[in-house]
Amino acid sequence: MNTQLSADGLWHDLRLLDMQALLAGELRTTPGVIAVQGGRITYAGPALALPEGLSTSGPRHDGGGALVTPGLVDCHTHLVYGGQRAGEFALRLAGASYEEIARAGGGIVSTVRATREASEEALLAAAAPRLEQLLADGVTAIEIKSGYGLELAAERRQLRVARALGERHGVTVKTSFLGAHALPPEFAGRADDYIAQVCDHMLPALADEGLVDAVDAFCERIGFTLAQTERVFQAAERLGLPVKLHAEQLSDMDGAALAARYGALSCDHVEHLSPRGIAAMRDAGSVAVLLPGAYYALRDTHLPPVEALREAGVPMAVSTDHNPGTSPALSLLLMLNMACTLFRLTVAEALAGVTVHAARALGLQATHGRIATGVPANFVLWQLQEPAELAYWFGQRPACRVVRQGRIVEGGR
């Protein structure tokens, strides 16, 4: 991180993204100011309505007319792992499918081998520069999953590194335990035994250590069955932990409907989501997390049912799904662009998808993804004329100043 300057004081000459209008599908900004005290926002709105006490106290920060949005939220990542899988990228280009590679002992399991071999220090050293890339795009809260250890000690290392990243970089980190990501080789042919291990040993131990904020699973032909997924959810429920699911990415397993029954925070990927799954998610208030990076990198052609989700009023979030296999993406703004170009989200929908809805997918809706009185100061000043530019440019890093957890960070990192 470049600086540790407090953001307390009055931020003036800003153009605030109107989040109310955004949720109604409109891109609008209003001139305004933000007051910060003790790392929290005490006022955001027109300068004329600023309560008197706030206008005189503390330092002044000149926004220079910058566009201001809430800090972005990357609500689905697998940021901590060993190695990389460029070789598989080449295999896929030569015609092998993701599922074929996985069944041949590559895929997730190859990253498991590299992660198990890595020390906590090595995992941290590998993940930190990746996190810095995401932060440079204005990310102020991020979810990080385990799932490349698939044994207690290695899963613990991943989650401890996720927590350490949050502390070192001053960024809100939510962890998800993804022990049910793939079957580790030592359990070949004994998936039910592995799930018992996940539910009865790994999850309770890691939750007891305070390392688990939510529980995730990979319900898929190359992952775990619906029945096995439900056992994981039951274990989460026993511990009072919220659930989420990698659902219907490669096929329709009816996972979303199951997750919704357990009040899932989100169902993620959802390319093959059925009308039944959509209805269940709507009723449960689960967020659909769209992951265009994985869709793109796998050269998928089966689009998620965006129009049906929109019609049903299911909130849609957008995230990087950063992982070494299917989405080596390190820019949430690029995902914003792809959500529009590939999935046909409107810019307003995509922007809501990396702010309010992404925060909700992490259970952070009260504190993140918006700029309001009382919430921790997380907002981004962008060197841009209009909000649509956030989705329009790609490969640019237009965040000029980020306020993250009440601290000013130049250039985002």
User: Between residue 320 and residue 359, which ones bind ligand DI6 under the rule CB under 6 A?
Assistant: 321, 323-326
CB neighbour list of residue 121: distance below 8 Å, 6 or more residues apart: none
Which residue minimizes CB distance to ligand DI6? 325
Amino acid identity, position 26:
E
User: Between residue 302 and residue 331, which ones bind Fe ion under the rule CB under 5 A?
Assistant: 321
Q: Which does 218 bind (CB under 5 to 8 A by kind): Fe ion, ligand DI6, none?
A: ligand DI6
Q: Which does 322 bind (CB under 5 to 8 A by kind): Fe ion, ligand DI6, none?
A: none
Which part of the chain contacts ligand DI6 (CB under 6 A), choosing from 104-112, 342-350, 362-370, 372-380? 104-112
Which residue, 290 or 371, is less far from Fe ion as judged by CB? 290
8-state DSSP, 65: E
User: Between residue 11 and residue 50, which ones bind ligand DI6 under the rule CB under 6 A?
Assistant: none
Number of residues that bind ligand DI6 (CB under 6 A): 14
User: Between residue 140 and residue 169, which ones bind ligand DI6 under the rule CB under 6 A?
Assistant: none
Spacing of C-alpha 347 from chain mean position: 18
Angle between helices 120-136 and 152-169 (to 10 degrees): 40
- Asked whether position 137 contacts Fe ion by CB under 5 A, the answer is no
Which residue, 321 or 349, is less far from Fe ion as judged by CB? 321
Whether residue 241 contacts residue 212, with contact meaning beta carbons closer than 8 Å, is answered with yes
Strand segments, DSSP code E, in 57-207 are 60-70, 72-74, 139-145, 172-180
Nearest approach in angstroms of CB 271 to Fe ion is 12
CB neighbour list of residue 243: distance below 8 Å, 6 or more residues apart: 214, 215, 216, 217, 232, 233, 236, 237, 259, 262, 263, 264, 265
Rule CB under 6 A: choose which of 37, 69, 77, 111 binds ligand DI6: 111
User: Between residue 175 and residue 234, which ones bind ligand DI6 under the rule CB under 6 A?
Assistant: 181, 218
Closest CA to 330 of 397, 407, 379: 397
Rule CB under 6 A: choose which of 160, 174, 246, 370 binds ligand DI6: 246
Nearest approach in angstroms of CB 36 to ligand DI6 is 36
Instruction: Determine the Cα–Cα distance for residues 182 and 66; give it in Å rounded to an integer.
Output: 45
Nearest approach in angstroms of CB 30 to ligand DI6 is 38
Which residue, 34 or 222, is less far from ligand DI6 as judged by CB? 222
Spacing of C-alpha 217 from chain mean position: 15
Q: Which does 8 bind (CB under 5 to 8 A by kind): Fe ion, ligand DI6, none?
A: none
Q: What is the DSSP string of 151-184?
A: SHHHHHHHHHHHHHHHHHHT-EEEEEEEEETS--
Place of tokens 């933000």: 34
Cα angle 205, 206, 212; round to 5: 145
Rule CB under 6 A: choose which of 36, 67, 79, 108 binds ligand DI6: 108
> Which residues here bind ligand DI6, judged by CB under 6 A?
78, 107-108, 111, 181, 218, 246, 249, 294, 321, 323-326
